[in-house]
Chains A and B, each alone.
Chain A
């Protein structure tokens, strides 16, 4: 995909192509080269490697150090850490973490209340009580399948539907949750709102799911432009 874009821009002139490549490549410089592998910090992973006898394979490979939030604690959750990073504003991670933890508490309270109110066993079984399962489900339900990219053809900009990678779709889903949770009256707490939105998302309803279907609908409407993506 990247090559194609490069070719396309080279048509319109060398200078522009350079600019566009510069704009497109926004990866931050890393202090660790491509030969470095991600750190292994969970006890289970380490035990597995040792028991499989794969320890030899790691002898000569350089490994990145873990960040301060990658711990072997049983409470560690990679989705949680990602979500906190998306919520963070101006590097205030403490605040973001606190707000996220309040969200977890709010979710627990809502679900347990429902659980206590439920009369039949079937109803109880359907209620998810683990907040992290709810978050996973909500993200899974709100991941878009396509995205729109503005492409200019003959002085007209078209919104062209193009495929989206799984990583990008996950990021988009998380960001939508945060964006929609911010749109609230001032009396309501962000964490409570986010909790409700996540629970709605896990049940495949609510504003975020609506936004996803809206996007899909626009993509469907613009399907005629899809070929612009190929040049």
Chain B
């Protein structure tokens, strides 16, 4: 009837402008569907497409110094709650991690999380991090690696490695992040360093001192922070291989290590590519599979690349041949856009939190945002 009327009106020239109608989407009750299971390792298919609240203690211990995407941080501040949607890619990743944890005597397995911008890759990584923390694994988490190369705090020429560049303040800040994330584990007396590290003529870290002291040294003596990070990664590799702990490595925006240039400018003011930064070498060295008893999760994002190489979210395109070969073989995990059920549950949440006040707008939002989570949030915010 309505369509017929519109057609009639078109003929009469009354309606000259009509937006194309979005496809009809079905959704049931406006109740937000939630699950009470807050442990990431216990999530199963029955919790799929439901919200769970990230526990405050997890949030404060894991993500105090970064790791939460900006939009999600803002959203959880406004909503007074960190509600995370359980998605199939999260359950898939945690399932694989569980399998990998059972394997013994094999080098650590690499997983690559990829997808379009704003679909929820970082939230998938957060979920995996929560799983690792619940299982008492040593967490090596680099929240958003591009931050080092896009906004470096201080760039200086390396004293130990020729032709390389140090980002000491950034390295020290990351060490602080590492220290906070592994507060409990580092208290363990089993974590000791294997051999002596000599920083300068007067300063050195002796063998068999706790790993904690090595980290503290890096934080207090910022000058050696980059070298401390490198030493720390070497020690972690050794400790894991010895079976002292199981390690969980997580790097978000891994593809930024393979871009052509960065904003790092040492004294001679020339732009240095990420490959000439010591931190890059350390991280790439860490994700090699020459150590065991660990799992590595890498997030790829088109945003971590330079603007001229963001056309596709697929891993080989983002990493190029060099980056691909540095982590091959890996298990790719695709993070898709929200499906209908997830989309309506998300909008139910927004409606219950009074963030979206208009009714009958879901078709338009779905059509315009392509059901990409971040775009949905932004569209609901500004309207």
Contact = CB atoms under 8 A, between A and B. Distances in A.
Interface of A: 39-41, 43, 46-47, 49-50, 55, 58-59, 63, 65-66, 70-75, 101-102, 104-105, 108-109, 112-113, 115-116, 129-130
A46 B2 CA distance: 9
Contacts, number: 78
Nearest to A50: B5
A28 B125 CA distance: 59
A104 B382 contact: yes
Interface stretch (B6-14, B271-279, B292-300): B6-14
B2 A101 contact: no
Please classify the interface of chain B as helix (H, G, I), strand (E, B), loop, or mixed, using the class held by over half of its residues. Answer: loop
B369 to A, nearest CB: 13
Contact of A40 (B15, B78, B358): B15
A124 B364 CA distance: 30
B15 A75 contact: no
A115 B352 CA distance: 13
Contact of B14 (A43, A58, A104): A58
Interface string B1-26: 11001101100111111110000000
Contact of B17 (A41, A55, A116): A41
Contacts of A50: 1, 5, 8-9
Nearest to A74: B361
Nearest to A117: B80
25 contacts: A39-B14, A40-B14, A41-B15, A41-B16, A41-B18, A43-B6, A46-B14, A46-B15, A58-B14, A63-B13, A63-B16, A65-B16, A73-B19, A73-B364, A74-B361, A74-B364, A75-B361, A75-B364, A75-B383, A108-B78, A109-B78, A112-B78, A112-B353, A115-B354, A129-B354
B381 interface: yes
Interface in B82-113: none
A130 B17 CA distance: 28
B383 to A, nearest CB: 5
Interface in B328-383: 353-355, 357-358, 360-361, 364, 381-383
A108 B381 contact: yes
Contacts of B79: 112
A116 B361 contact: no
Given A101-B382, A108-B381, A70 B8 contact: no
Nearest to A102: B382
B199 to A, nearest CB: 43
Contact of A43 (B2, B357, B382): B2
A50 B7 CA distance: 11
